[in-house]
Chain A
Amino acid sequence: MAACNSLELRLLGGQSLKSNKLLNFRILSICLVLLSLCACAGQRIVTGELEFGGEQVERIWPPSPEIPRYRYAGELTGEQNFHSKSEAVKSGAAKVLDWIVGLTSSRKESPIVLQRPMSGVVDEEGRIYVTDVSRKAVFVFDGVDGRLNVWDAVTQIGAPFMSPVGVALGADGQVLVADSELGVVVRLDREGRPLGFIGQQVLERPTGIARDPERGLIYVADTLAHNLKVFDDEGRLVETIGQRGKMPGEFNAPTHLTFADNKLYVTDTFNARIQVFDALGDQKMSLGHRGLFVGEFVRPKGIAVDSDDNIYVVESYHDHVLMYDEQGRFLMAIGGTGTDAGQFYLPAGVWIDSHDRIYVADMFNGRVEIFQFLGGSS
């Protein structure tokens, strides 16, 4: 931050020196575009088969003799997940040559890996979208086309994401990304091409995002304004829900959202609870309370619901994922601080695909951990 401040000062100083502001602004923007183009030019395309690599680690929860409910299914870290055919068949001679020459092109480039994954979503076809607030990009683990895409530009001129936090699926195959620093929701098509913004001049610090597909409504958690803003698919503000407070329907720094089974789940982080709303915006249930023990909340973050209506909450203070039934009764937890399977360091989002795989953004370990839900009955 100290460095940032001094840079800011120099930046201001540099500007005051100049007389023709308009010209300079143009040059500046050209420079920025050039710079971002340079950054893009270095990008590598990673192709191959998407693999989670969970077979190597055999872990189940809860441990025997209990009935296992979850199995470790692997992790997403970046290009390591793509078993590239071309690399796999690299001949021994080429490897020796690599070793002799030293700096081959593939070694010089830094690998495409997650740095601080925040949250994610999986589309109907199985593409996994993960926001990364440090890489300032959306990673698309495309198992369908066998590609890893990194989307970092949000406008036509190449201005980058600043802090992509929430991601949700929009209408007609669109992807919606809430950028907390830009203060907008960015609409992208399936190829990552920007289509426009939602909530300019309306959103202060958008974080979590979820969509009600039936009604075509987009819910955005505005953390700084302590409310939820509801947009239609065209991006018009329809409604604002809540204000800062502790009462039902009020919020203190809402963060992550999910929409499942006609219900909206809101992590009300600083009130240490999950609030559940019906599709009309009426508060139906409050889950959890403040406390230091497992099953209680200090800093709840990600929220997700599986096909059995079990509710998953990431408790970032304790590095745990907590599971509750649909009435909000605490069932079990997976977690602990560390880098092993089922451990986390400052986790953030949680999301679930159609195969009941639970994805947890293990933010400070730079990975997404995946757990297979084995079913709750008997």
Chain B
Amino acid sequence: MSQRSSTSQLQVALAFATGLLASSLLASCVFDGVTPGSARRALVASEGEILLYQSSIYGGLTSIGLDHIDRLVGAQEFALQSPTALSARGDDLYVYDDAARILYKYDIAFDALSEFFSHAAFNELNLSTSRMTGLYVASDLTVFVTDPNSGRVLRFNREGRLITTYADPLNLSRPNAVQVDEKSGRVFVSDSVYGHIVVFGMTGMPLQAINSGTGGTGQFQVATDITFGPDGLYVVDLLSKEIFVMGLDGTPRYSFESSELGNPGAIIVDEFNRVYISDRQDNTIKIYEDGKLATTYGGTGSAPGSFYDVTDMSLDRNMLYVADSLNGRVQLFRIAPPRRPKPEE
């Protein structure tokens, strides 16, 4: 009898705990559901949270030449194996798969994945042996691709036709990142051998090298990634783990140390001047505000919001695309704005 009562007490306790868990579960994850398919957005506002998990892209259906995706005949499913570089704008998401050595174009509106180049074109351009790490979609929807083996950057239109080649045999050896200043149209290419950034005009003319001296103060050694932000050009240094901010002409503005970083991967800066750096050592995204670590997001794992080797990130308006390479997926996060100042009493 006593045993039974204690059992029921246990049950009540369990049930209560379960209830608590259930209610906190309900409280912690709710989606607005406007995004179709498996894509669900967590929109619950919680204090100070910056990255809100939206969805993951593991692959998609082929859609080449087919107008209606609901009437696909013989549709083929593509699965991402190891997406290492990406760039997004509007409905266009370009993803380079390092395992398949294919540059994909993903149509976000139609959940459709297609090869951006045919294999023949890929081989013709000699890109198949080159591990591209830098991708950039410009506002005119042309796409810039680094070709480290040939020491050049190629610019294609949306249909995959080559428009411009950016090369400088004396100054550009192994390009690892490319960004375009949309105002001036200048193309910034970071070089992992010389440790500097080569600036090209839109037509392909080399104009300038930034950081060409070595070892001076305010100078980086090896840029793992570059990006633009409110204060100019941001560079994350692989060796010193410092973040350097400079004007677009290369004038140093300021820098800050980030001793928390183990192995920096990609850098992104949002319009509120918050700096996001992926750390490939502990599989997190570290967010810096005013030169100080504000938040560490993620950790090793395959659950949503966890990562396994984030090699690249791309910010399109308020959506962050994360190349979660060894999980074989791209994760999407909504970026919440800083809290609004409370209205005056």
Residues of A whose CB lies within 8 Å of any CB of B are 1-5, 7-8, 10-11, 14-15, 17-18, 20, 23-24, 27-28, 31-32, 35-36, 77, 80, 115-116, 118, 133-134, 136, 160, 162-163, 165, 180-181, 205, 207, 223-224, 226, 243-247, 250, 252-253, 255, 269-272, 290, 292, 298, 301, 317-319, 337, 339, 345-346, 348, 363-367
Is there contact, CB below 8 Å, between B141 and A292?
yes
Is there contact, CB below 8 Å, between B33 and A272?
no
- Given contact pairs A2-B304, A27-B11, A134 touches B30 in the complex (Cβ within 8 A): yes
Is there contact, CB below 8 Å, between A163 and B33?
yes
Interface residue from A4, A272, A363 paired with B28 (Cβ < 8 Å): A4
Is there contact, CB below 8 Å, between A31 and B15?
yes
A270 CA / B317 CA spacing, docked (Å): 17
B271 beta carbon closer than 8 Å to chain A = yes
A245 CA / B36 CA spacing, docked (Å): 14
Is there contact, CB below 8 Å, between A205 and B109?
no
Is there contact, CB below 8 Å, between B29 and A165?
no
- Given contact pairs A35-B23, A180-B34, A27 touches B16 in the complex (Cβ within 8 A): yes
Q: Which 6 interchain pairs have the tightest Cβ spacing?
A: A180-B33, A31-B19, A1-B304, A27-B15, A270-B109, A253-B36
Digitize B301-334: 1 where CB-to-A-CB distance is under 8 Å, 0 elsewhere: 1011110000000000110000000000000001
| Chain A residues, Cβ within 8 Å of B340 | 339, 365-367
Interface residue from B14, B43, B271 paired with A337 (Cβ < 8 Å): B271
Is there contact, CB below 8 Å, between B304 and A181?
no
Interface residue from B45, B53, B110, B303 paired with A270 (Cβ < 8 Å): B110
| Chain B residues, Cβ within 8 Å of A80 | 343
| Chain B residues, Cβ within 8 Å of A163 | 30-33
B44 beta carbon closer than 8 Å to chain A = yes
Is there contact, CB below 8 Å, between B109 and A271?
yes
5 A–B contact pairs at CB < 8 A? A2-B303, A116-B32, A165-B34, A253-B34, A364-B334
Is there contact, CB below 8 Å, between A32 and B19?
yes
| Chain B residues, Cβ within 8 Å of A7 | 21, 24-25, 28
| Chain B residues, Cβ within 8 Å of A36 | 23
B193 beta carbon closer than 8 Å to chain A = no
A272, chain B: closest CB distance, angstroms: 7
Interface residue from A10, A15, A160 paired with B26 (Cβ < 8 Å): A160
| Chain A residues, Cβ within 8 Å of B343 | 77, 80
| Chain A residues, Cβ within 8 Å of B44 | 115-116, 133-134
- Given contact pairs A339-B340, A366-B340, A28 touches B15 in the complex (Cβ within 8 A): yes
The listed residue with most B CB atoms (<10 A of its CB), out of A24, A270, A365, is A270
A271 CA / B70 CA spacing, docked (Å): 13
Instruction: Tally the A-B contacts, defined by beta carbons under 8 Å.
Output: 174
Is there contact, CB below 8 Å, between B18 and A14?
yes
A289, chain B: closest CB distance, angstroms: 12
Is there contact, CB below 8 Å, between A339 and B337?
yes
A48 CA / B279 CA spacing, docked (Å): 51
B15, chain A: closest CB distance, angstroms: 4
Interface residue from B34, B141, B336 paired with A255 (Cβ < 8 Å): B34
Q: Is the interface of B mostly helix, strand, loop or mixed?
A: loop
Is there contact, CB below 8 Å, between B14 and A11?
no
A255 CA / B306 CA spacing, docked (Å): 30
| Chain A residues, Cβ within 8 Å of B30 | 133-134, 136, 162-163, 181
A116 CA / B46 CA spacing, docked (Å): 11
A24 CA / B340 CA spacing, docked (Å): 44
Is there contact, CB below 8 Å, between A4 and B18?
no
| Chain A residues, Cβ within 8 Å of B318 | 337, 345-346, 364
Query: How many residues of B are counted as interface, with CB atoms below 8 angstroms from the partner's CB atoms?
Result: 55
A31 CA / B20 CA spacing, docked (Å): 8
- Given contact pairs A18-B11, A364-B336, A133 touches B26 in the complex (Cβ within 8 A): no
B182, chain A: closest CB distance, angstroms: 11
Is there contact, CB below 8 Å, between B90 and A317?
yes
- Given contact pairs A365-B337, A365-B340, A11 touches B317 in the complex (Cβ within 8 A): no
B91 beta carbon closer than 8 Å to chain A = yes
B69 beta carbon closer than 8 Å to chain A = yes
Is there contact, CB below 8 Å, between B337 and A223?
no
B209 beta carbon closer than 8 Å to chain A = no
B6 beta carbon closer than 8 Å to chain A = no
Is there contact, CB below 8 Å, between B69 and A181?
no
B285, chain A: closest CB distance, angstroms: 14
Interface residue from B12, B17, B37, B139 paired with A14 (Cβ < 8 Å): B17
B27, chain A: closest CB distance, angstroms: 8
| Chain B residues, Cβ within 8 Å of A319 | 317
A194 CA / B312 CA spacing, docked (Å): 48
Is there contact, CB below 8 Å, between A1 and B37?
no
Closest to B108 in A: A270
| Chain A residues, Cβ within 8 Å of B11 | 18, 20, 23-24, 27
Interface residue from A2, A15, A205, A243 paired with B70 (Cβ < 8 Å): A243
| Chain B residues, Cβ within 8 Å of A269 | 34
B183 beta carbon closer than 8 Å to chain A = no
Digitize B281-303: 1 where CB-to-A-CB distance is under 8 Å, 0 elsewhere: 00000000000000000000101
B142, chain A: closest CB distance, angstroms: 12
Closest to B336 in A: A364
A270 CA / B37 CA spacing, docked (Å): 12
| Chain A residues, Cβ within 8 Å of B14 | 14, 17-18, 24
A22, chain B: closest CB distance, angstroms: 12
Interface residue from A31, A292, A365 paired with B90 (Cβ < 8 Å): A292
- Given contact pairs A7-B21, A180-B34, A116 touches B29 in the complex (Cβ within 8 A): no
Digitize B58-99: 1 where CB-to-A-CB distance is under 8 Å, 0 elsewhere: 000000000111110000000000000000011100000000
The listed residue with most A CB atoms (<10 A of its CB), out of B21, B24, B26, B305, is B26
Is there contact, CB below 8 Å, between A3 and B70?
no
A15 CA / B67 CA spacing, docked (Å): 48
A375, chain B: closest CB distance, angstroms: 30
Is there contact, CB below 8 Å, between A4 and B29?
yes
Is there contact, CB below 8 Å, between B15 and A207?
no
A251 CA / B146 CA spacing, docked (Å): 37
Is there contact, CB below 8 Å, between A245 and B25?
no
| Chain A residues, Cβ within 8 Å of B12 | 27
